[in-house]
Amino acid sequence: MRVFSRLGLLAAAGAILVALPALAQTQGVSDTEIVVGTVQDLSGPLAGYGKEARLGMQMRVDEINAAGGIYGRKIRFVVEDHGYDPRKAQLAAQKMVQQDRIFAMVGSIGTAPVMAMMPLLLERNVLSLWPLTGARETYEPLNRLKYSLTESYYEQVRTVLPLLVKQKGYKRVGVLYQDDDFGLEVARGTEAGLKALDMQMVDKASYKRGATDFSSQIAKLRASNPDLIVLGTLVRETVGAIAEARKNGWNDVAFVGTTGLYTHLIHKLGGRAMDGLYGVSISSIPYSDDPSKEIRDWAASYKARFKEDPAVFSSYGYYYMDAFVQAAQKAGKNLTVDSFIAALEELSIPTSIFGSPPLKFSKTEHMGLPGMRLSQIQNERWVVIGDYMFPTPEK
């Protein structure tokens, strides 16, 4: 009896050791829940974006949980604040991976914070899903754990700039950019777009993250007399730079930026001075009086839930969490990192109610929404002014 008992214990121990890799691979998945995390800027320069994204994701989480979850598993949604500080982002990711034991990181915001978190996620086999940034590193080089829903800032500018120059006849292009990974992507995209036109950049000016005074940068650029300035700026910097130009009577220069400035906060904070600004968009801002009844109804539900109107980052958050839900459902009841990836690489989602292009991934393409549109602020409201454009290979 003792011999058989010992053999039984050894067999049980061996079974546990064999099962350990599988258990590690399904971190954040139990019989009753799936743990999903996001790290947002809730106290720094992108706090407006971060709050909107968090609420949009929470809305979709609440809906799916109220409907019974995913194969009976409720989503436990964990949120941390990085204040747009890469070090805080690292600490938040460490806490989520080691203590909360998240299955996936979804929709975290900001190029520098996201890049700071990425190594830990990849090391610990945690999915990095569609961060709210246009950094190419979110999906390149190809990695089984990295997926994005936003075309890179580089490709946005490289694609939109030649079209805008040809349509409007701009002759002299400059760039104002934030001196970090985000801004440098915009500057490089500007150079690539101009190269395709056989044009040279007339001048460029940079600023440190958190800057509020743009008088020297605007003066420097004005001395070179550009008729179009590409902006590698976010909310406050966009408003501050354009307001500085208009305050000094520089009214004959146009501005164009990326999805990083496509938000109602620009015209809300800057007023009429922001009219004429061009921006890249992948979906429409969900104004409460939108012509689409689906968007109006969604906006009304959002306002009833959170006591405020939704914004474009609210729709991003909702859509991004919905994409996670659809992939997890497609993965089936036996949810693991491998089954999720297999489902994701076969996933195809039609155009959303917010007007974004169809979503599709594959084994070799981990950026799911390559399309982009050009929008413009007209009478203190963003208006779509072009059809979807898609990047072409560089020559």
| Local confidence pLDDT in tens for the 395 residues of the chain | 333 344 344 444 444 444 444 444 589 999 999 999 999 999 998 898 999 999 999 999 999 999 999 999 999 999 999 999 999 999 999 999 999 999 999 999 998 999 999 999 999 999 999 999 988 899 999 999 999 998 899 999 999 999 999 999 999 999 999 999 899 999 999 999 999 999 999 999 999 988 999 999 999 999 999 999 999 999 999 999 999 999 999 999 999 999 999 999 999 999 999 999 999 998 889 999 999 999 999 999 999 999 999 999 999 999 999 999 999 999 999 999 999 999 999 988 888 899 888 899 999 999 998 889 999 999 999 999 999 999 888 87
Confidence at residue 394, expressed as pLDDT on a 0 to 100 scale = 85
CB 203 within 8 A of CB 228: no
Confidence at residue 6, expressed as pLDDT on a 0 to 100 scale = 41
Residue 196: CB atoms within 10 Å: 15
Give me the phi and psi of 158, to 5 degrees please: -60, -30
**pTM of the full predicted structure?**
0.84
CA 290, 296, 298, 301 torsion-angle sign: positive
Instruction: Name residues whose C-beta falls within 8 Å of residue 134's C-beta, 6 or more positions apart in sequence.
Output: 111, 150, 151, 152, 153, 154, 156, 182, 185, 258, 259, 260
Q: What angle do CA 63, 64, 70 make, to 5 degrees?
A: 175
Strand partners, 374: 280
Q: What angle do CA 96, 102, 105 make, to 5 degrees?
A: 85
Confidence at residue 4, expressed as pLDDT on a 0 to 100 scale = 35
The dihedral over CA atoms of 327, 330, 336, 342, expressed in degrees to the nearest 10, equals -80
CB 129 within 8 A of CB 104: yes
Q: Which of 316, 317, 234, 308 is nearest to 283 (CA)?
A: 316
CA 283, 284, 288, 291 torsion-angle sign: negative
Confidence at residue 210, expressed as pLDDT on a 0 to 100 scale = 86
Confidence at residue 200, expressed as pLDDT on a 0 to 100 scale = 97
Let me know how long the chain is.
395
- DSSP summary character for residue 44: S
Half-sphere exposure of 211 (CA within 13 A, CB side): 22
CA distance 392 to 9: 62
Instruction: Name residues whose C-beta falls within 8 Å of residue 26's C-beta, 6 or more positions apart in sequence.
Output: 103, 335, 336, 337
CA distance 215 to 313: 30
Confidence at residue 25, expressed as pLDDT on a 0 to 100 scale = 52
